[in-house]
Structure 1
Protein backbone atom coordinates (compact mmCIF):
# COMPACT_ATOMS: atom_id res chain seq x y z
CA UNK A 1 0.00 0.00 0.00
CA UNK A 2 2.91 2.37 0.72
CA UNK A 3 4.89 1.47 -2.41
CA UNK A 4 6.89 -1.70 -1.69
CA UNK A 5 7.49 -4.16 -4.55
CA UNK A 6 5.18 -7.17 -4.94
CA UNK A 7 7.33 -9.39 -7.16
CA UNK A 8 8.93 -12.69 -6.08
CA UNK A 9 11.66 -12.39 -8.70
CA UNK A 10 15.12 -13.55 -7.62
CA UNK A 11 16.82 -10.57 -9.27
CA UNK A 12 14.78 -8.07 -7.28
CA UNK A 13 17.85 -6.14 -6.08
CA UNK A 14 18.61 -5.20 -9.67
CA UNK A 15 15.60 -2.89 -9.47
CA UNK A 16 17.37 -0.56 -7.03
CA UNK A 17 19.30 2.57 -8.06
CA UNK A 18 23.06 2.35 -8.34
CA UNK A 19 24.94 3.01 -5.08
CA UNK A 20 21.67 3.39 -3.15
CA UNK A 21 23.14 1.82 0.01
CA UNK A 22 26.12 4.18 0.08
CA UNK A 23 23.99 7.25 -0.60
CA UNK A 24 21.51 6.36 2.16
CA UNK A 25 24.23 5.61 4.71
CA UNK A 26 26.14 8.81 4.01
CA UNK A 27 23.10 11.10 4.09
CA UNK A 28 21.66 9.38 7.15
CA UNK A 29 24.89 10.17 9.03
CA UNK A 30 24.65 13.83 8.02
CA UNK A 31 21.00 14.16 9.07
CA UNK A 32 21.43 12.28 12.35
CA UNK A 33 24.25 14.59 13.38
CA UNK A 34 22.59 17.79 12.17
CA UNK A 35 19.24 17.06 13.83
CA UNK A 36 20.61 15.17 16.82
CA UNK A 37 18.27 12.40 15.73
CA UNK A 38 17.79 8.84 17.00
CA UNK A 39 19.63 5.87 15.61
CA UNK A 40 17.20 3.62 13.75
CA UNK A 41 17.43 0.70 11.31
CA UNK A 42 16.75 1.64 7.69
CA UNK A 43 15.32 -0.90 5.26
CA UNK A 44 15.73 -0.28 1.52
CA UNK A 45 13.49 -2.10 -0.98
CA UNK A 46 12.56 -1.74 -4.65
CA UNK A 47 9.39 0.24 -5.28
CA UNK A 48 6.27 -1.29 -6.78
CA UNK A 49 6.55 -0.60 -10.50
CA UNK A 50 2.85 -1.33 -10.98
CA UNK A 51 1.68 1.31 -8.49
CA UNK A 52 0.42 4.07 -10.78
CA UNK A 53 0.07 6.64 -7.98
CA UNK A 54 3.66 6.13 -6.81
CA UNK A 55 4.85 6.46 -10.41
CA UNK A 56 2.71 9.49 -11.19
CA UNK A 57 2.90 11.47 -7.93
CA UNK A 58 6.34 10.51 -6.62
CA UNK A 59 8.36 9.41 -9.69
CA UNK A 60 8.59 5.79 -8.49
CA UNK A 61 9.87 6.45 -4.97
CA UNK A 62 8.26 6.31 -1.55
CA UNK A 63 8.90 5.72 2.14
CA UNK A 64 7.34 4.81 5.45
CA UNK A 65 8.50 6.01 8.85
CA UNK A 66 7.96 4.87 12.43
CA UNK A 67 9.59 6.31 15.52
CA UNK A 68 11.96 3.31 15.70
CA UNK A 69 12.47 2.25 12.05
CA UNK A 70 12.44 3.49 8.49
CA UNK A 71 11.49 1.95 5.12
CA UNK A 72 12.54 3.39 1.75
CA UNK A 73 11.29 2.25 -1.68
CA UNK A 74 13.12 3.18 -4.89
CA UNK A 75 13.04 2.53 -8.64
CA UNK A 76 16.16 2.00 -10.81
CA UNK A 77 15.89 5.45 -12.42
CA UNK A 78 15.83 7.40 -9.14
CA UNK A 79 18.79 9.76 -8.83
CA UNK A 80 21.01 10.40 -5.81
CA UNK A 81 19.15 13.67 -5.24
CA UNK A 82 15.83 11.82 -5.16
CA UNK A 83 17.23 9.22 -2.75
CA UNK A 84 18.42 11.99 -0.43
CA UNK A 85 15.05 13.75 -0.63
CA UNK A 86 13.05 10.65 0.33
CA UNK A 87 15.44 9.79 3.15
CA UNK A 88 15.31 13.38 4.41
CA UNK A 89 11.50 13.43 4.42
CA UNK A 90 11.11 10.07 6.15
CA UNK A 91 13.93 10.45 8.69
CA UNK A 92 12.48 13.84 9.56
CA UNK A 93 9.30 11.99 10.57
CA UNK A 94 11.36 9.78 12.87
CA UNK A 95 12.87 12.82 14.57
CA UNK A 96 9.53 14.60 14.93
CA UNK A 97 7.82 11.50 16.36
CA UNK A 98 10.67 10.97 18.81
CA UNK A 99 10.92 14.54 20.03
CA UNK A 100 7.23 15.43 20.06
CA UNK A 101 6.61 12.80 22.75
CA UNK A 102 3.02 12.19 21.64
CA UNK A 103 1.58 8.76 21.04
CA UNK A 104 0.80 8.28 17.35
CA UNK A 105 -2.53 6.70 18.27
CA UNK A 106 -3.56 10.09 19.63
CA UNK A 107 -2.53 12.05 16.54
CA UNK A 108 -5.14 14.40 15.11
CA UNK A 109 -5.53 15.61 11.53
CA UNK A 110 -3.60 18.75 12.46
CA UNK A 111 -0.75 16.66 13.90
CA UNK A 112 -0.50 14.66 10.68
CA UNK A 113 -0.71 17.74 8.47
CA UNK A 114 2.10 19.45 10.39
CA UNK A 115 4.16 16.24 10.47
CA UNK A 116 4.09 16.12 6.67
CA UNK A 117 4.67 19.85 6.39
CA UNK A 118 7.79 19.76 8.53
CA UNK A 119 9.18 16.80 6.58
CA UNK A 120 8.82 18.37 3.15
CA UNK A 121 10.17 21.70 4.37
CA UNK A 122 13.16 19.70 5.59
CA UNK A 123 13.63 18.55 1.99
CA UNK A 124 13.54 22.18 0.85
CA UNK A 125 16.10 23.12 3.49
CA UNK A 126 18.46 20.18 2.94
CA UNK A 127 18.08 19.37 -0.76
CA UNK A 128 16.80 22.58 -2.36
CA UNK A 129 13.44 23.50 -3.89
CA UNK A 130 14.23 21.57 -7.08
CA UNK A 131 13.87 18.32 -5.13
CA UNK A 132 10.44 19.03 -3.63
CA UNK A 133 7.65 16.66 -4.62
CA UNK A 134 5.10 17.85 -7.17
CA UNK A 135 2.22 18.43 -4.75
CA UNK A 136 4.05 21.37 -3.16
CA UNK A 137 3.20 23.33 -6.32
CA UNK A 138 -0.44 22.35 -6.77
CA UNK A 139 -1.98 25.53 -5.32
CA UNK A 140 -1.34 29.23 -4.87
CA UNK A 141 -0.86 30.64 -1.37
CA UNK A 142 -4.35 32.12 -1.51
CA UNK A 143 -5.84 28.72 -2.39
CA UNK A 144 -3.85 27.10 0.39
CA UNK A 145 -5.06 29.66 2.89
CA UNK A 146 -8.65 28.77 1.98
CA UNK A 147 -7.91 25.04 2.36
CA UNK A 148 -6.49 25.69 5.82
CA UNK A 149 -9.44 27.88 6.91
CA UNK A 150 -12.24 25.84 5.37
CA UNK A 151 -11.00 22.25 5.69
CA UNK A 152 -8.09 21.83 8.10
CA UNK A 153 -9.08 24.13 10.97
CA UNK A 154 -12.70 22.91 11.33
CA UNK A 155 -11.48 19.28 11.31
CA UNK A 156 -8.21 19.78 13.16
CA UNK A 157 -9.11 17.48 16.08
CA UNK A 158 -10.22 14.55 13.92
CA UNK A 159 -8.40 11.33 14.93
CA UNK A 160 -6.34 9.20 12.58
CA UNK A 161 -8.73 6.26 12.76
CA UNK A 162 -11.59 8.31 11.30
CA UNK A 163 -12.07 7.84 7.57
CA UNK A 164 -12.38 11.54 6.85
CA UNK A 165 -8.86 12.02 8.25
CA UNK A 166 -7.24 10.38 5.23
CA UNK A 167 -9.83 11.81 2.83
CA UNK A 168 -8.72 15.30 3.83
CA UNK A 169 -5.04 14.43 4.05
CA UNK A 170 -4.85 12.94 0.54
CA UNK A 171 -7.70 14.90 -1.02
CA UNK A 172 -9.99 12.01 -1.80
CA UNK A 173 -13.50 12.40 -3.18
CA UNK A 174 -14.53 16.04 -3.52
CA UNK A 175 -11.62 17.42 -1.49
CA UNK A 176 -8.70 19.18 -3.24
CA UNK A 177 -5.97 16.78 -4.28
CA UNK A 178 -3.38 16.19 -1.50
CA UNK A 179 -5.12 18.90 0.54
CA UNK A 180 -3.63 18.04 3.93
CA UNK A 181 -0.10 17.59 2.63
CA UNK A 182 -0.20 20.87 0.73
CA UNK A 183 -1.69 22.75 3.68
CA UNK A 184 1.00 21.36 5.99
CA UNK A 185 3.83 22.43 3.70
CA UNK A 186 2.30 25.92 3.45
CA UNK A 187 1.77 26.33 7.21
CA UNK A 188 5.25 25.15 8.19
CA UNK A 189 6.99 27.17 5.46
CA UNK A 190 5.22 30.33 6.61
CA UNK A 191 6.05 29.63 10.26
CA UNK A 192 9.74 29.06 9.52
CA UNK A 193 9.98 32.20 7.41
CA UNK A 194 8.08 34.50 9.77
CA UNK A 195 9.99 33.34 12.86
CA UNK A 196 13.34 32.99 11.04
CA UNK A 197 13.80 29.40 12.23
CA UNK A 198 15.24 26.19 10.81
CA UNK A 199 13.83 22.67 10.91
CA UNK A 200 15.94 21.62 13.90
CA UNK A 201 14.28 24.39 15.94
CA UNK A 202 10.70 23.11 15.57
CA UNK A 203 10.81 19.33 16.09
CA UNK A 204 9.15 19.49 19.52
CA UNK A 205 6.78 22.36 18.75
CA UNK A 206 3.09 21.62 19.36
CA UNK A 207 1.06 21.48 16.15
CA UNK A 208 -1.33 24.17 17.33
CA UNK A 209 1.48 26.75 17.23
CA UNK A 210 1.47 26.63 13.43
CA UNK A 211 -2.20 27.67 13.12
CA UNK A 212 -2.73 30.16 15.92
CA UNK A 213 -3.44 32.99 13.48
CA UNK A 214 -6.46 31.03 12.20
CA UNK A 215 -8.04 30.39 15.61
Structure 2
Protein backbone atom coordinates (compact mmCIF):
# COMPACT_ATOMS: atom_id res chain seq x y z
CA UNK A 1 0.00 0.00 0.00
CA UNK A 2 2.86 2.40 0.71
CA UNK A 3 6.47 2.55 -0.49
CA UNK A 4 8.80 5.16 1.05
CA UNK A 5 11.33 7.11 -1.03
CA UNK A 6 13.39 10.30 -0.73
CA UNK A 7 10.47 12.47 -1.77
CA UNK A 8 8.15 10.96 0.84
CA UNK A 9 10.88 11.25 3.48
CA UNK A 10 11.02 15.02 2.83
CA UNK A 11 7.24 15.26 3.18
CA UNK A 12 7.41 13.25 6.40
CA UNK A 13 9.95 15.66 7.86
CA UNK A 14 7.80 18.67 6.92
CA UNK A 15 4.71 17.09 8.43
CA UNK A 16 6.68 16.36 11.57
CA UNK A 17 7.80 19.99 11.79
CA UNK A 18 4.17 21.08 11.52
CA UNK A 19 3.27 18.67 14.35
CA UNK A 20 0.61 17.05 12.21
CA UNK A 21 0.46 13.98 14.47
CA UNK A 22 -0.43 16.19 17.43
CA UNK A 23 -3.05 18.03 15.36
CA UNK A 24 -4.60 14.75 14.25
CA UNK A 25 -4.66 13.49 17.83
CA UNK A 26 -6.53 16.60 18.98
CA UNK A 27 -9.01 16.38 16.10
CA UNK A 28 -9.59 12.70 16.85
CA UNK A 29 -10.28 13.49 20.51
CA UNK A 30 -12.64 16.32 19.53
CA UNK A 31 -14.85 14.13 17.35
CA UNK A 32 -14.60 11.05 19.53
CA UNK A 33 -16.16 13.14 22.29
CA UNK A 34 -18.61 15.01 20.05
CA UNK A 35 -19.89 11.85 18.35
CA UNK A 36 -19.31 9.33 21.17
CA UNK A 37 -17.21 7.49 18.62
CA UNK A 38 -14.72 4.65 19.02
CA UNK A 39 -11.12 5.15 20.07
CA UNK A 40 -9.22 3.90 17.03
CA UNK A 41 -5.69 3.85 15.69
CA UNK A 42 -4.90 6.64 13.22
CA UNK A 43 -1.96 6.18 10.86
CA UNK A 44 -0.47 9.08 8.91
CA UNK A 45 1.70 8.71 5.81
CA UNK A 46 3.17 11.24 3.36
CA UNK A 47 0.99 11.56 0.28
CA UNK A 48 2.31 10.31 -3.04
CA UNK A 49 0.55 13.19 -4.76
CA UNK A 50 -2.83 13.91 -6.33
CA UNK A 51 -5.07 11.40 -8.00
CA UNK A 52 -8.64 10.41 -8.72
CA UNK A 53 -9.50 9.60 -5.10
CA UNK A 54 -7.73 12.52 -3.42
CA UNK A 55 -9.97 15.25 -2.08
CA UNK A 56 -7.87 18.36 -2.70
CA UNK A 57 -4.12 18.91 -3.02
CA UNK A 58 -3.28 15.22 -2.94
CA UNK A 59 -4.69 14.24 0.45
CA UNK A 60 -6.76 11.11 0.91
CA UNK A 61 -7.78 8.50 3.46
CA UNK A 62 -8.88 4.91 3.99
CA UNK A 63 -11.12 3.73 6.83
CA UNK A 64 -11.86 0.47 8.63
CA UNK A 65 -13.88 -0.42 11.71
CA UNK A 66 -10.94 -0.05 14.11
CA UNK A 67 -8.46 2.19 12.30
CA UNK A 68 -8.00 4.78 9.59
CA UNK A 69 -5.14 5.88 7.36
CA UNK A 70 -4.46 9.46 6.24
CA UNK A 71 -2.17 10.29 3.32
CA UNK A 72 -1.11 13.93 3.58
CA UNK A 73 0.92 16.42 1.55
CA UNK A 74 3.44 18.67 3.25
CA UNK A 75 1.32 21.80 2.72
CA UNK A 76 -1.71 20.43 4.59
CA UNK A 77 -3.50 23.02 6.72
CA UNK A 78 -5.24 22.19 9.98
CA UNK A 79 -8.72 22.93 8.58
CA UNK A 80 -8.07 20.63 5.62
CA UNK A 81 -6.80 17.92 7.93
CA UNK A 82 -9.95 18.23 10.03
CA UNK A 83 -12.19 17.92 6.96
CA UNK A 84 -10.41 14.79 5.81
CA UNK A 85 -10.54 13.31 9.30
CA UNK A 86 -14.27 14.07 9.63
CA UNK A 87 -14.98 12.21 6.39
CA UNK A 88 -12.93 9.16 7.32
CA UNK A 89 -13.95 9.04 10.99
CA UNK A 90 -17.60 9.28 10.00
CA UNK A 91 -17.00 6.10 8.00
CA UNK A 92 -15.57 4.44 11.11
CA UNK A 93 -18.54 5.45 13.26
CA UNK A 94 -21.13 4.35 10.71
CA UNK A 95 -19.38 1.04 10.00
CA UNK A 96 -19.40 0.27 13.72
CA UNK A 97 -23.00 1.39 14.20
CA UNK A 98 -24.30 -0.69 11.29
CA UNK A 99 -23.07 -3.92 12.87
CA UNK A 100 -22.20 -5.23 9.44
CA UNK A 101 -18.82 -6.45 8.29
CA UNK A 102 -17.28 -4.13 5.73
CA UNK A 103 -17.04 -6.95 3.19
CA UNK A 104 -20.81 -7.37 3.45
CA UNK A 105 -21.47 -3.80 2.36
CA UNK A 106 -23.40 -3.51 -0.89
CA UNK A 107 -23.02 -0.83 -3.53
CA UNK A 108 -26.02 0.92 -1.96
CA UNK A 109 -24.29 0.85 1.43
CA UNK A 110 -21.09 2.27 -0.04
CA UNK A 111 -22.88 5.04 -1.93
CA UNK A 112 -24.79 6.15 1.19
CA UNK A 113 -21.66 5.80 3.34
CA UNK A 114 -19.83 8.28 1.12
CA UNK A 115 -22.76 10.68 0.87
CA UNK A 116 -23.26 10.83 4.63
CA UNK A 117 -19.55 11.35 5.29
CA UNK A 118 -19.32 14.25 2.90
CA UNK A 119 -22.38 15.94 4.34
CA UNK A 120 -20.70 15.68 7.72
CA UNK A 121 -17.76 17.56 6.24
CA UNK A 122 -20.16 20.20 4.99
CA UNK A 123 -21.90 20.49 8.37
CA UNK A 124 -18.82 20.54 10.61
CA UNK A 125 -16.18 22.11 8.35
CA UNK A 126 -18.02 24.13 5.71
CA UNK A 127 -18.93 23.80 2.04
CA UNK A 128 -15.51 24.84 0.77
CA UNK A 129 -14.01 21.65 2.20
CA UNK A 130 -16.32 19.33 0.29
CA UNK A 131 -14.86 16.96 -2.28
CA UNK A 132 -14.92 17.92 -5.94
CA UNK A 133 -17.51 15.22 -6.69
CA UNK A 134 -20.20 17.13 -4.77
CA UNK A 135 -20.62 19.66 -7.58
CA UNK A 136 -19.34 17.64 -10.54
CA UNK A 137 -22.83 16.75 -11.86
CA UNK A 138 -26.27 18.36 -11.77
CA UNK A 139 -29.11 16.68 -9.90
CA UNK A 140 -30.72 15.88 -13.27
CA UNK A 141 -27.55 14.10 -14.37
CA UNK A 142 -27.38 12.13 -11.12
CA UNK A 143 -30.99 10.97 -11.49
CA UNK A 144 -30.26 9.87 -15.04
CA UNK A 145 -27.14 7.99 -13.92
CA UNK A 146 -29.12 6.40 -11.09
CA UNK A 147 -31.81 5.05 -13.41
CA UNK A 148 -29.49 3.91 -16.19
CA UNK A 149 -26.27 2.87 -14.44
CA UNK A 150 -26.73 2.39 -10.71
CA UNK A 151 -30.18 1.19 -9.68
CA UNK A 152 -29.95 -2.32 -11.11
CA UNK A 153 -26.53 -2.89 -9.46
CA UNK A 154 -27.24 -1.84 -5.87
CA UNK A 155 -26.87 -5.34 -4.41
CA UNK A 156 -23.31 -5.78 -5.65
CA UNK A 157 -20.96 -6.65 -2.77
CA UNK A 158 -17.84 -4.66 -1.99
CA UNK A 159 -15.51 -7.38 -3.20
CA UNK A 160 -17.09 -7.47 -6.66
CA UNK A 161 -15.20 -5.60 -9.36
CA UNK A 162 -18.26 -3.83 -10.76
CA UNK A 163 -19.03 -2.43 -7.31
CA UNK A 164 -15.70 -0.62 -7.32
CA UNK A 165 -16.00 0.53 -10.93
CA UNK A 166 -19.36 2.18 -10.32
CA UNK A 167 -18.45 3.65 -6.92
CA UNK A 168 -15.21 5.24 -8.12
CA UNK A 169 -16.39 5.90 -11.65
CA UNK A 170 -13.86 3.88 -13.58
CA UNK A 171 -14.32 3.68 -17.32
CA UNK A 172 -16.84 3.54 -18.88
CA UNK A 173 -18.66 5.04 -15.87
CA UNK A 174 -18.66 8.78 -15.05
CA UNK A 175 -15.84 9.86 -12.72
CA UNK A 176 -16.59 9.31 -9.01
CA UNK A 177 -20.13 8.26 -9.89
CA UNK A 178 -21.00 6.58 -6.60
CA UNK A 179 -19.57 9.40 -4.50
CA UNK A 180 -21.52 12.01 -6.45
CA UNK A 181 -24.75 9.99 -6.28
CA UNK A 182 -24.37 9.52 -2.54
CA UNK A 183 -23.87 13.20 -1.93
CA UNK A 184 -26.94 14.12 -4.02
CA UNK A 185 -29.19 11.54 -2.34
CA UNK A 186 -28.28 12.81 1.13
CA UNK A 187 -28.64 16.43 -0.03
CA UNK A 188 -32.19 15.68 -1.11
CA UNK A 189 -32.87 13.77 2.11
CA UNK A 190 -31.73 16.73 4.20
CA UNK A 191 -34.12 19.01 2.32
CA UNK A 192 -37.09 16.83 3.24
CA UNK A 193 -36.35 15.19 6.58
CA UNK A 194 -34.80 15.88 9.95
CA UNK A 195 -31.11 15.03 9.90
CA UNK A 196 -28.66 14.41 12.72
CA UNK A 197 -25.23 12.91 13.07
CA UNK A 198 -26.65 10.14 15.27
CA UNK A 199 -29.14 9.25 12.53
CA UNK A 200 -26.37 9.27 9.94
CA UNK A 201 -24.59 6.53 11.91
CA UNK A 202 -27.55 4.31 12.75
CA UNK A 203 -30.13 4.42 9.96
CA UNK A 204 -29.92 1.73 7.26
CA UNK A 205 -28.98 2.79 3.75
CA UNK A 206 -32.47 2.08 2.41
CA UNK A 207 -34.00 4.62 4.80
CA UNK A 208 -32.21 7.54 3.18
CA UNK A 209 -33.13 6.50 -0.34
CA UNK A 210 -36.78 5.83 0.51
CA UNK A 211 -37.26 9.44 1.63
CA UNK A 212 -36.14 10.84 -1.74
CA UNK A 213 -37.16 10.67 -5.40
CA UNK A 214 -34.62 7.92 -5.95
CA UNK A 215 -36.15 4.46 -6.05
CA UNK A 216 -34.80 1.04 -5.25
CA UNK A 217 -35.27 -2.00 -7.42
CA UNK A 218 -38.08 -4.16 -6.07
Q: Is 1:60 the counterpart of 2:58 in the alignment?
A: yes
Equivalences for 1:142-153 in 2 at 5 Å?
142-153=140-151
Residues in 2 aligned to 1:66 and 1:99: alpha-carbon distance in whole angstroms: 12
Residues in 1 aligned to 2:79 and 2:203: alpha-carbon distance in whole angstroms: 28
1:160-197 CA distances to partner (integer Å, 9 max, x unpaired)?
12111111011111211110010011112222331121
Give TM-score scaled by structure 2 length.
Answer: 0.89
Residues in 2 aligned to 1:12 and 1:211: alpha-carbon distance in whole angstroms: 41
Secondary structure of 1:73's counterpart equals: strand
Shift of 1:44: 1.2
Instruction: Work out whether residues 16 and 45 of structure 1, in 8 Å CA contact, stay in contact via their aligned partners in 2.
Output: no
Q: Is 1:87 the counterpart of 2:94 in the alignment?
A: no
Give TM-score scaled by structure 1 length.
Answer: 0.90
Secondary structure of 1:186's counterpart equals: helix
Instruction: Work out whether residues 45 and 69 of structure 2, in 8 Å CA contact, stay in contact via their aligned partners in 1.
Output: yes
Residues in 2 aligned to 1:32 and 1:146: alpha-carbon distance in whole angstroms: 38
Secondary structure of 1:83's counterpart equals: helix
Residues in 2 aligned to 1:175 and 1:144: alpha-carbon distance in whole angstroms: 12
Shift of 1:211: 1.8
Instruction: Work out whether residues 169 and 176 of structure 2, in 8 Å CA contact, stay in contact via their aligned partners in 1.
Output: yes
Aligned Cα root-mean-square deviation (Å): 1.9
Instruction: Work out whether residues 15 and 75 of structure 1, in 8 Å CA contact, stay in contact via their aligned partners in 2.
Output: no
**Structure 1: gaps (5+ residues):** none
Residues in 2 aligned to 1:98 and 1:129: alpha-carbon distance in whole angstroms: 26
Q: Is 1:35 the counterpart of 2:35 in the alignment?
A: yes
Residues in 1 aligned to 2:82 and 2:11: alpha-carbon distance in whole angstroms: 22
Instruction: Work out whether residues 5 and 47 of structure 1, in 8 Å CA contact, stay in contact via their aligned partners in 2.
Output: no
Shift of 1:148: 2.1
Shift of 1:103: 1.4
Residues in 2 aligned to 1:5 and 1:121: alpha-carbon distance in whole angstroms: 32
Secondary structure of 2:123's counterpart equals: helix
**Structure 2: gaps (5+ residues):** none
2:112 maps to which of 111, 114, 119: 114
Residues in 2 aligned to 1:157 and 1:144: alpha-carbon distance in whole angstroms: 19
Residue 181 (structure 1) aligns with: 179
Q: Is 1:139 the counterpart of 2:137 in the alignment?
A: yes
Secondary structure of 1:135's counterpart equals: helix
1:64-91 CA distances to partner (integer Å, 9 max, x unpaired)?
1110011111001121111011101111
Instruction: Work out whether residues 12 and 74 of structure 2, in 8 Å CA contact, stay in contact via their aligned partners in 1.
Output: no
Residues in 1 aligned to 2:187 and 2:51: alpha-carbon distance in whole angstroms: 29
Q: After TM superposition, where is structure 1 displaced by more than 3 Å over at least 4 residues in a row?
A: 8-12, 51-55
Q: Is 1:48 the counterpart of 2:53 in the alignment?
A: no
